[in-house]
A = this chain, B = another copy of it.
Amino acid sequence: MSFYDQLKFDANGLIPAIVQEQKTGRVLMMAWMNRASLQKTLDTGKTHFWSRSRQKFWMKGESSGHVQVIKDIAFDCDGDTLLVQVEQTGAACHEGYQSCFFRSVQASISDPSFRITEERLESPEQIYGKK
């Protein structure tokens, strides 16, 4: 049975893909795939997504060189989320952090502020050049 038959794309034809660095277990980012970008991902061995804001395909690292090489693609019990294990080149986050999840909620519940939890590896200018 094809695993595509197990998947449920949403009303816009999209499925969320969690990207995890296989070596460290660090969750790097979450982005959306449609069926074509998932096929492209399988076909090339590098992550491809669908940008909801720009309404276009994008390959992770196409501008930055920070590509993600596929190690494993899992899907959940409901078939509506993907978990993609990768080997990440450079920082995953466009803001220069290893992970997009570089901020955490502080302990205070009444006024939950946040803190930055990791060091920035590069500035966006270093990654993408000045704009």
Contacts and interface: CB of A to CB of B under 8 A. Distances in A.
B77 A3 contact: no
A20 B16 contact: no
A127 interface: no
Contacts of A2: 111-113
B100 A77 contact: yes
B114 A6 contact: yes
Nearest to A108: B42
Contacts of A104: 72-75
A119 interface: no
18 contacts: A2-B112, A3-B106, A3-B112, A3-B113, A3-B114, A6-B103, A18-B27, A25-B26, A27-B83, A42-B109, A43-B109, A73-B105, A76-B100, A76-B101, A77-B94, A77-B97, A77-B102, A83-B101
A126 interface: no
Interface in A52-94: 72-78, 81, 83, 93-94
A83 to B, nearest CB: 4
Contacts of A30: 16, 18, 76, 81
Nearest to A20: B27
B16 A105 contact: no
B25 A105 contact: no
